[in-house]
């Protein structure tokens, strides 16, 4: 039905509904209740604006930019910020690289962490960003952090959808897509349905309707944000990738477009099981795991299917807490940022480490790292 699915939990399906969705549900004789009343207007219910928005301790685009550049400044040998492309509204999409000898593309395993394809999923910015900060702040004192930074190249793109994020801060907290003007009175393409592997495979896993929250766009990679990720990805040799979303506490791997499992399913399952176990050890919270199409619902054109479909590397979507709408849905409290990061940290360390252990050197070092045509631009931004 092209619905914006949030969660399937305890025998109920949660969606964000447009008025016409409610009509369609009624016509299909599907029973529903509207829970809008649980979410009073944010002006009354949330903390006072910080820096001109409602985001509080969560990063806005400018705050994140400043914090990423501050890390580069504080740890010049270990951290470097790259501008890998512009959003539709001309904001920069930033990648933070963390490695010893950071200016050079060394013969080390590269691991990618992404955040915030979906604007309203604020916690998905914080977890990958805080991971980078953790590695840098602990490099000098923690042998394990040092070993990982010395022997790998960790890449973090915490904000794939900056236009959408700003829109959620200043206009509408529940916004999901980017800010594409679809020229029919509707806005937005779902960036996590716009990637080019099995794009538009079926109308279950994505929608051709521009008004839909899972609108896939006019063609694969029609959006500058997904194009930026594609072009960046194709210049590197990533060994593994995790893309963070919220919410539902799940760890998902390919395929999303079909309920069939890929050939590498045992390996993907092993890693997912380990991630889930490491997470549970911290706060006791359980994240379920499995192939995306079997675990949550069918999707096509998403990041993980594309990364796996083109590179066959272990690729995961992690849906962060809470587990359900009753637990707060997209509205994680500011106080939960640290605990959600902390419970994911051991799994992130493990994820990088396993590619170090498996890595077979590819030959000579590759010289200065230039994943980005605008290589020197980031150092000029203030
Ligand atoms: Zn999402």
Q: pTM of the full predicted structure?
A: 0.86
Q: For the CA atoms of 295, 296, 300, 302, what is the dihedral angle to 10 degrees?
A: -90
CA distance 115 to 125: 5
User: Coil, helix or strand for 350?
Assistant: helix
Cα–Cα dist 108/64, whole Å: 27
Identify any residues that bridge with 187 across adjacent strands, giving them in sequence order. Answer: 181
Q: Which domains, ranges and CATH numbers included, belong to the chain?
A: 60-380 (3.40.630.10)
The CA 247 to ligand 1 mean position distance, Å, reads 7
Q: What is the DSSP string of 132-192?
A: HHHHHHHTTT-HHHHHHHHH-EEEEE--S-HHHHHHHHHT-TT--S---B-SSS-B---GG
Residue 262 CA, ligand 1 centroid: distance in Å: 22
Ligand 1: distance of its center to the CA of 246 in Å? 6
User: How remote is the CA of residue 200 from the centroid of ligand 1, in Å?
Assistant: 18
Q: What does the pLDDT profile of the chain (382 residues) look like in tens digits?
A: 888 887 777 778 888 888 888 899 999 999 888 775 454 444 443 444 445 578 889 999 999 999 999 999 999 999 999 999 999 999 999 999 999 999 999 999 999 999 999 999 999 999 999 999 999 999 999 999 999 999 999 999 999 999 999 999 998 888 999 999 999 999 999 999 999 999 999 998 999 999 999 999 999 999 999 999 999 999 999 999 999 999 999 999 999 999 998 989 999 999 999 999 999 999 999 999 999 998 878 999 999 999 999 999 999 999 999 887 777 778 888 889 999 999 999 999 999 999 999 898 876 666 788 766 443 333 333 2
pLDDT at 375: 38
Best CA proximity match to 130, nearest among 332, 340, 351? 340
The residues carrying an active-site annotation are 319
Which residues hold their Cβ within 5 A of ligand 1, which is an ion?
A: 118, 121, 245
**286 neighbors 324 (Cβ within 8 angstroms):** no
Residue 271 CA to ligand 1 center (angstroms) comes to: 21
């Amino acid at each position: 039905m092209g619905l914006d699915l949030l969660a399937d939990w305890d025998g109920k399906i949660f969606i964000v509904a447009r008025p016409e969705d409610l009509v369609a549900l009624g016509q299909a004789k599907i029973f529903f209740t509207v829970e809008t009343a649980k979410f009073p207007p944010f002006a009354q219910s949330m903390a006072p604006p910080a820096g001109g928005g409602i985001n509080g301790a969560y990063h806005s685009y400018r705050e994140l930019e400043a914090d990423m550049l501050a890390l580069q400044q504080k740890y010049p040998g270990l951290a470097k910020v790259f501008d890998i492309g512009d959003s539709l509204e001309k904001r920069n999409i930033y990648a933070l690289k963390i490695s010893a000898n950071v200016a050079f593309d060394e013969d080390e395993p590269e691991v990618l962490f992404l955040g915030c394809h979906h604007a309203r999923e604020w916690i998905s910015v914080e977890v990958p960003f805080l991971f980078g900060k953790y590695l840098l702040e602990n490099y000098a004192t923690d042998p394990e952090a040092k070993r990982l930074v010395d022997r790998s190249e960790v890449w973090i793109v915490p904000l794939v959808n900056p236009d959408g994020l700003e829109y959620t801060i200043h206009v509408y907290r529940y916004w999901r897509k980017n800010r594409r003007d679809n020229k029919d009175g509707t806005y937005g393409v779902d960036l996590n349905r716009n990637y080019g592997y099995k794009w538009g495979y079926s109308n279950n896993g994505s929608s051709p309707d521009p008004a839909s929250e899972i609108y896939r766009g006019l063609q694969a990679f029609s959006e500058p944000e997904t194009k930026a990720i594609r072009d960046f990805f194709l210049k590197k040799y990533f060994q593994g990738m995790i893309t963070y979303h919220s919410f539902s506490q799940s760890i998902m791997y390919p395929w999303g477009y079909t309920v069939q499992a890929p050939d590498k399913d045992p390996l993907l399952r092993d890693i997912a099981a380990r991630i889930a176990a490491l997470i549970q050890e911290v706060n006791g919270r359980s994240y379920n795991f499995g192939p995306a199409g079997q675990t949550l619902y069918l999707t096509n054109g998403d990041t993980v299917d594309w990364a796996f479909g083109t590179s066959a590397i272990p690729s995961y979507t992690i849906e962060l807490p809470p587990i359900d709408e009753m637990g707060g849905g997209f509205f994680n409290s500011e106080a939960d940022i640290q605990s959600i990061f902390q419970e994911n940290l051991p799994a992130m360390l493990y994820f990088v480490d396993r590619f170090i252990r498996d890595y077979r050197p590819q030959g000579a070092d590759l010289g200065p790292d230039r994943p980005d045509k605008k290589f020197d631009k980031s150092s000029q931004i203030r």
